[in-house]
Structure 1
Amino acid sequence: MIKTFLMIAGLISFNSYAEISTAEKEALIDLYTQTDGEEWNNSWDLNTPVSTWYGITVKNDRVVKLNLFHNNLKGVLPSSIGELKNLMVLNLAFNQLTGELPSEISGLQNLVILKLEMNRLKGSLPENLGNMTALQELTAFNNFLSGEIPNSIGALKMLKTLNLSSNNFKGAIPSSLGKLDQLESLGLFENGLEGAMPSELGNLVKLKELVLANNHLKGAIPKEVGQLASLEIFQIQNNGFDSFEDINTFKGNSLLVFDFDEEKIETTMDFKDIKKYTTRMADTKFEDDTDN
């Protein structure tokens, strides 16, 4: 009788912890350990089922969502985060994460939303970022990320929002961004980006926000960009652009905000119905995205 009871108790205990794979649970514990989990605003009791842990969503015995927004994470992301292969949402925004992004994060091929903004991350974006083909939203503004934006980013064909503003990216804007034909918002404000604006950006027919202000870009605005009929916010001030000659036919019917260095550029365009907000950085949004 006692032996039977112990066996049943053991099975109950096993089942309560067998709701996700060992690899996934170990990856979560690594994250907890390496980011000072005991000091989180909402900590985890590691002796309880994973499905009860703050910010975790488990479906069909798989971790599909990890939302630790504004939760006082401090430290470096472990490479084992790549074991959370069923994740669809990873929101680590507004914390104090440091160090470089592990290349293993690019193995999260089911990820739809990746939010890393307002941390202290450094180093370059993983070269194999393009493997995350399900991504629809990638936001990493206000960090210390550097290097060039990888060309592989053009493989993220589902992407609707890309915000890499307020970092230390250098080099040219990759022309591969022109392949992101679902993109609605592109924010590269306040980096060290150089060279010309790629004409391929004119392929982004769904683009509503294009924010390139505060970089070292130069040359003429491509006429292809002037054909973006859906564009509502266009901010290019504090760069070295010297000509609007090719966009005098700007399809600005929907344009609400156009910020440019008016004193540097001669133009015959009529902007009387377009608002100029030189202090409005539309791409750097600090809203509480706790629903993601």
Structure 2
Amino acid sequence: MKKILPILAIILVAGQLVFANVSSKERSALLDLYNDTNGAEWVNKWDLSAPVTEWYGVKVIDGHVVEINLFRNNLSGVIPKSIKKLKNLSHLNLAFNNLAGEFPKELSDLEQLKVLKLEMNRLKGVIPDEIGSLKNLEELSLFNNFLNGSIPESIGDIKNLKVLNLSSNNLKGEIPESLGNLTMLKSLGLFENTLEGSIPSTLGNLAQLKELVLANNNLGGEIPKEFGQLASLEILQIQNNKFNSYKSLEMMNTKQFLVFDYDKEDVRLDFKDMDFSKTRMADTKFEEDRDN
């Protein structure tokens, strides 16, 4: 027995040296991600016998995994629930893959996240209300998935958010007024969903907004007069909706616009300092077969 103990100690120490760059808990979470997303078929595979610091797309600082970037790496399967163990993760980019299954609410436990990019996958289900707990998030990109339900009001609690893109999903209901709390927001994309109701006037609070894309929904009513406050706006796309009045657009100084699309050719508005060479009027419906 006395001889066995030193041998076990040597094995234990050796194991700690090999994987000393991260804790066993964090390494286990990474292994779950590898196995649950068919790591053997990845474009850039992980050498599981090597230190975690050498794994493709993984960044480690002070013994903690802080970044995972597996963009366009042929991931398939589901995002494991154990990903919540990566408590120091600040960047997660799994975009342009073939991930399926429900949007994992466990991602909401990653309170250090600044960037969450899951666009161009096949995720379904609702965006959980818990998403609002990601107070440090600056970019949330979920476009082109199969997410349904409504946009959570809690997203308005993510005050540091600069980019929010939920376009090309199956989201329904109204645009939450709480999005007007995102005063750091520079880009808001809600294109191609089935959103309805009026645009909330609170969006006029987004003074830093440069890009607003609401096209291809079922939005109605009038354009809020508060849009006149969006002095930084460069891209505005609101075509293919059901608005009954565009009169408030006259309040906008549109000479700085790079893109300005709406779909009422017979509307005659007195725009302030409009440079029509920089704008375009949408005269055709946008159609896309997302299964192709």
| Aligned counterpart, 1:89 | 91
One of 159, 162, 173 as aligned partner of 1:160: 162
Partner Cα distance (2:10, 2:282) in 1: 68
The answer to whether the aligner puts 1:275 opposite 2:279 as a matched pair is: yes
| Aligned counterpart, 2:21 | 19
Query: Match of 1:178, as an amino acid?
Result: G
Partner Cα distance (1:117, 1:10) in 2: 41
Deviations 1:193-232 (A, max 9, x none): 0000110000000000000000000111001012210000
Instruction: Report if aligned partners of 1:243, 1:265 keep a CA contact under 8 Å in 2.
Output: no
Q: Which has the higher contact order (CA 8 A, sep 6+)?
A: 1
Partner Cα distance (1:84, 1:194) in 2: 37
Q: How many residues align?
A: 279
Partner Cα distance (2:275, 2:81) in 1: 52
| Aligned counterpart, 2:289 | none
The offset of 1:70, in angstroms, is: 0.5
| Aligned counterpart, 2:136 | 134
Aligned positions of 1:72-151 closer than 5 A: 72-151=74-153
Partner Cα distance (1:12, 1:182) in 2: 48
Partner Cα distance (1:277, 1:59) in 2: 49
Equivalent position SS for 2:251: coil
TM-score, structure 1 length as denominator?
0.90
TM-score, structure 2 length as denominator?
0.90
Partner Cα distance (1:72, 1:171) in 2: 33
One of 62, 75, 83 as aligned partner of 2:64: 62
The offset of 1:49, in angstroms, is: 1.2
Partner Cα distance (2:261, 2:233) in 1: 13
Unaligned runs of 5+ in 2: 285-292
Equivalent position SS for 2:228: helix
One of 237, 240, 243 as aligned partner of 1:238: 240
Partner Cα distance (1:101, 1:41) in 2: 23
Partner Cα distance (1:78, 1:10) in 2: 28
Instruction: Report if aligned partners of 1:68, 1:91 keep a CA contact under 8 Å in 2.
Output: yes
Equivalent position SS for 2:171: strand
Identity fraction in percent:
54
Partner Cα distance (1:59, 1:42) in 2: 21
One of 44, 47, 50 as aligned partner of 1:45: 47
Partner Cα distance (2:192, 2:237) in 1: 11
Instruction: Report if aligned partners of 2:26, 2:85 keep a CA contact under 8 Å in 1.
Output: yes
One of 208, 211, 215 as aligned partner of 1:209: 211
Equivalent position SS for 1:231: coil
Query: Match of 2:75, as an amino acid?
Result: L
Equivalent position SS for 2:74: coil
